[in-house]
A and B are shown apart, each in its own frame.
Chain A
Amino acid sequence: MVLTETKASAGSAEIDASPQWEVVSEGNTACLVLTGVWLGQNTALPVFSGDALLHAGSFDNVTCNAADVTRWDTGLIGFLWDVRRWCDREGREFEAHALPHPMQQLLDLLPDRQAPTAPMKGTRHSFLERVGIKSIATLAEIGTIAELAGHTARACYQAIFRRGGLRSSDLFSDLFNAGPSALLIVGVVNFLIGAILAFVGAVQLQKFAAGIYVASLVGIATVREMAPVMTAIIMAGRTGGAYAARISTMQGNEEIDALKVFGISVSSYLILPAVLSLVITMPFLYLYGCLIGMLGGYIVAISMLDITSLGYFHQTVIAFGISQFIFGFIKSLVFGAFIGLTSCRIGLRAGRSAADVGIAATRAVVIGIVGVIALDAIFAIIANSIGI
């Protein structure tokens, strides 16, 4: 057996027996004589070049003599492979039979010609082309999400009126994850937002002896913008990311394929509970966020300013009408549906590897947050035009 015994000992004693090759011409045959230790792991092995062979004179056959090679690994096979391919290219006969049997066996496994180097992935596009491609892809994606929303709505209709499709246990577990489990983080964030608003407002309004308007500031800001947007951002990061990761992992395990083969609708089995749970819990989380936000503002206002609890409460109540609440309520419904649909869609289109799961989760969070803020801007324009 030729191969190494332990690689650790391959150092000092044989370091001088460096791998070498020379050409010996024997009539019509050029013989490559290989000597030394040919371990590709330890040193860079000599690279075969055809020029040295051509200098040796004219010949038709090439043989190799590896009798004096003391130790070798696949690096030597790589060298012999180069020789054989060179012979094929130059129309010479490569005779492997002089080589030890193990070397021949490994050489036989290798293909005759090198695989054509694969072309670089992707072609270059001009700036305009890239913008166009991106725009078309984005529009197509919006279309797909709208289609998914349609399927989900139909699944919802079927689940309500025809029974079937939706498993209540899935819905309840999703509801619990999107609702009660999120109360703490939604509460903490909204409380702090309310408190910060009150701080900033108090410092400014105090200068004009208008401290009581801190209550209006906190109330309107929380009900109209802060509570729905902050709650949606939290849910995009928390629940949207989780949905995308879960569905893309199922994709990788062929679980989605299994659903499709059984004819179980992905929309009603996977997407409906996810979207429905967010649509149901988001408005409640919004109301809860409003209350907690105002509580945060109240605590700061009471401790910093010279106002009474009743005064603060009264000012809050007269600051905004019920229409503001309804508007915030509708916003949070839309945000919930948006986060649920986009994150499920991102999970469904993810690749099948572990890295793809991470990419899908990241993308769901990013698109969720950016999308929520963009939708909020659209809502602001609508509110302005209808005069809320």
Chain B
Amino acid sequence: MTDGPIMSMTDVTLAFGPKVIQSDISLSVKRGSIFAVMGGSGCGKSTLLKSMIGLLRPSRGSFHVGRDDYWAGTDAERTEINHRFGVLFQSGALWSSMTVGENVALPLQMFTKLDARAIQRLVELKLALVGLSDAINLTPSEISGGMRKRAGLARALALDPDILFFDEPSAGLDPITSARLDDLILNLRDGLGATIVIVSHELPSLFSIADDGIFLDAITKRPIAHGSPRALRDHSTDPQVRAFMNRQRNEEGQAS
């Protein structure tokens, strides 16, 4: 097992055509860590996630997964790397014409040589892991938003990925479900040894689980802080980062 970062970006600029979203992003994600991408609304968090999972090619800079230069390889090589990724999209992004079980089964059918029985067993297991054993034959339109998210997670886990990406995992979930999801994420990290990248502005959740991170700024369009959310909250000297973290804390204080 190598000790280098499982994923790293060097001087990456992300842009849609002439419109620059973020520039000079350098980061490295340690194996087995939970890495948070933070920042206010519209600062490009989800765009950064998109570039990490290969949906958006950076206009400048390099992106490595392990030792492989992601964008230097061929399409086939990129697909190979993508098999190590599991992505939970913001709304679950389940394929609506299939049942929940079929959603989880599809990647297994496409990318493994397992027979139908073995796939069925794995599907049952993944759904049981996220607490959705009962929903295997339901379609996405028949289940709630929180269940859809968990089903999306079961699908992301289908190929036992090395790196799991979460886009706003607790958005739209109640505090208890959201806390359960946090526990689940920690369990998956500890149990499977997976590396986890989370895009979120749900600070309580980030403080409790993330151990490294990057803070993006919408105005200067570049990262303004690196480190774990807890450390940024307590020790950051950047007024903007402090304001972001502390305002949330004040609101929390008022709410409770």
Contacts and interface: CB of A to CB of B under 8 A. Distances in A.
Given A6-B84, A7-B84, A1 B133 contact: no
A360 to B, nearest CB: 13
A103 B141 contact: no
Contacts of B187: 105-106, 108-109
Nearest to B80: A8
Contacts of B83: 7
A74 interface: yes
Interface in A223-240: none
Contact of A353 (B80, B118, B141, B162): B141
Interface stretch (B121-129, B202-210, B224-232): B121-129
Interface in B217-253: none
Nearest to B137: A118
A84 to B, nearest CB: 12
B194 interface: yes
Interface in A169-218: none
A355 to B, nearest CB: 4
B115 interface: yes
Interface stretch (A18-26, A75-83, A280-288, A306-314): A75-83
Given A40-B118, A73-B192, A5 B2 contact: yes
A353 B191 CA distance: 34
Instruction: Give the size range of A's interface with the partner.
Output: 35 or more
Contacts of A354: 96-97
Contacts of B112: 41-42
Contacts, number: 104
Nearest to B98: A355
B174 interface: no
A95 B1 CA distance: 31
Contact of B128 (A8, A41, A81): A81
B90 interface: no
Nearest to B114: A44
A382 B16 CA distance: 62
Contact of A2 (B124, B140, B193): B193
Interface string A13-44: 00000000000000000000000000011101
Contact of A102 (B97, B118, B137, B192): B192
A115 interface: yes
Contacts of A352: 141
Interface string B116-147: 00100110111011010110110111000000
Given A1-B32, A74-B125, A114 B97 contact: no
A45 to B, nearest CB: 8
Contact of B134 (A1, A81, A115, A353): A115
Contacts of B124: 78, 114
B160 A109 contact: no
B1 A109 contact: no
A111 B122 contact: no
A133 B60 CA distance: 63
Contact of B140 (A40, A114, A353): A353
Contact of B1 (A5, A41, A45, A110): A5
A49 interface: no
Contacts of B43: none
Contacts of B125: 74, 77-78, 81, 110
Given A102-B190, A110-B129, A78 B121 contact: yes
Nearest to B111: A41
Interface string B183-199: 01001101111100000
23 contacts: A4-B160, A5-B1, A5-B2, A6-B66, A6-B84, A6-B162, A40-B122, A40-B160, A73-B192, A75-B122, A77-B125, A77-B191, A108-B187, A109-B187, A111-B128, A111-B133, A115-B133, A115-B134, A121-B137, A351-B141, A353-B141, A354-B96, A354-B97
List the 8 closest A-B pairs by CB distance, nearest first: A353-B96, A115-B133, A3-B193, A355-B97, A106-B191, A1-B193, A73-B160, A78-B125
